[in-house]
Amino acid sequence: MFELGIDSAPTVDDIHRGTAVVSRIGEGRDDVERIDLMRALEELKCAAEAAQAMLTAAFDRSQREREARAGVPVERRGRAVASQVALARRESPHRGRQHLGLALVLEELPCTRDAFRAGRITEWRVMLLARETACLSKADRGEVDRRMAGDADVLEAMGDGELVSRAREAVYELDPVSFVERRRRAEADRHVGLRPAPDVMSQLSALLPAKDGVAVWAVLGREADQRRAAGDERSRGQIMADTLVRRMLDPREGERSLPLMINVVVPDSVLLGDDHNFGWIEHYGPVPGDLLREWIATNAEDGVDQWVRRLYVAPATGALVAMDSSARRFEGRLADYLRLRDRGCRTRWCDSPVRHLDHALDHADGGLTSAANGQGVCEHCNYAKQALGWSARPRPGPRHTVETVTPTGHRYLSTAPPLTVAERGLRVDFVMTA
Ligand SMILES: [Zn+2]
């Protein structure tokens, strides 16, 4: 399919020809061939991911060497590698860091790497193996690799669950102490997350040490059981959810309640009339106008302070869009405008919330503190952008566009989300006094 000599390394053109071959696959001649094609494609996918991992590790080495030659201090070297891997793979920097981590671990798992390159194990299973052996010394990790992947036929026959439990057994046998260390490290990763869920719901999650998670669950369950025994008609799950919210938002005795600010952008047509447009809630995303109107009305009935202020007028009039500042930092209404225009980090494929307002073209290089030269970025992307060989600048266009050039000279354009909601946006600040 690639028409290569045995010794020649494939080029990008060779791979494009391979992609063209795969994209011509139709429905297959018969069911036997369909199954055979599916297996062959699965092997191709695994081998392709293995090749990406090996390229990633080599790229990391080469970038670090380049930075060393340029005099970048050792602790700052390689910090933008994951971002470049992510852009190349059209994924978030978070995923880029995972890919880089896996690529580096794979160098210490040679048997697993061979099976991966031969298309016999998926990237996911390689990741599971890397995760299970993360706590081990290099030597012990090599030993688990030999036991698990020394025989590729055995490795290939294992499912996810079997692979994890056999790896755990081997790890425990080689280094029981590391299990304790690992638990401690896992506890350090505790956090709370919020994701939009279907039907304008949200999924609030918490990753907790087992004892804390079990205790919170038990307290909510006990409250639900007591209330249901007393005749509450809500389901057990509903009472648990309501209790969680009430306990978080109600002030405890003796505590002063603090106002809570939730930023909402709505076109005035949604706020005043009944059109079917959406509003947008910071840290959540789009919300239908009727729900927002209901929320605002309920807040008013409950006596919750809220006010509406005009953030900026139609772009046609240009009042705020053209606004710039002589200040070094983005502040006030210009800062509000950038956060609401960009909504999330402006790096392509990065969905993180905005943490910093950044000059696309550096202030030191003459970049203005203006709406055109400003962009919202997450912490990680702001950090990556400061590495050796990165540059960015705004590009003219109907929607706000920033061009970023990475150290390899690859160019990526990032365009602000459509302005439909924010266009004639009013901002509603709900001050919820809990
Ligand atoms: Zn980002």
Taking the chain (434 residues) in consecutive chunks of 10 residues, what is each chunk's mean pLDDT? 63 95 92 95 97 97 96 93 97 95 95 97 95 89 95 93 91 84 84 87 91 89 94 96 88 61 66 68 77 76 60 39 64 80 87 89 90 91 90 86 94 80 50 43
Q: Which residues contact 137 (CB under 8 A, 6 or more apart)?
A: 175
CA of 35 to the centre of ligand 1 (A): 40
Distance of alpha carbon 103 from alpha carbon 131, whole angstroms = 12
Q: State residue 433's pLDDT score.
A: 42
CA of 385 to the centre of ligand 1 (A): 10
Distance of alpha carbon 252 from alpha carbon 254, whole angstroms = 6
CA of 21 to the centre of ligand 1 (A): 35
Q: State residue 250's pLDDT score.
A: 73
Q: SS3 for 177? A: helix
Q: State residue 258's pLDDT score.
A: 60
Q: Which residues contact 212 (CB under 8 A, 6 or more apart)?
A: 190
Q: What are the structural domain ranges in the chain?
A: 12-188, 190-250
Q: SS3 for 362? A: coil
| Residue recorded with tokens 């290939």 | 156
State how far Cα 209 lies from the chain centre. Answer: 23
Distance of alpha carbon 75 from alpha carbon 82, whole angstroms = 15
CA of 93 to the centre of ligand 1 (A): 6
**Burial of residue 411, with CB atoms counted within 10 A of its CB: 0-12 exposed, 13-18 middle, 19 or more buried:** exposed
CA of 411 to the centre of ligand 1 (A): 16
Is residue 139 within 8 A of residue 171, CB to CB? The reply is no
CA of 378 to the centre of ligand 1 (A): 4
CA of 137 to the centre of ligand 1 (A): 32
DSSP code of residue 230 = T
| Residue recorded with tokens 């790890």 | 171
CA of 387 to the centre of ligand 1 (A): 14
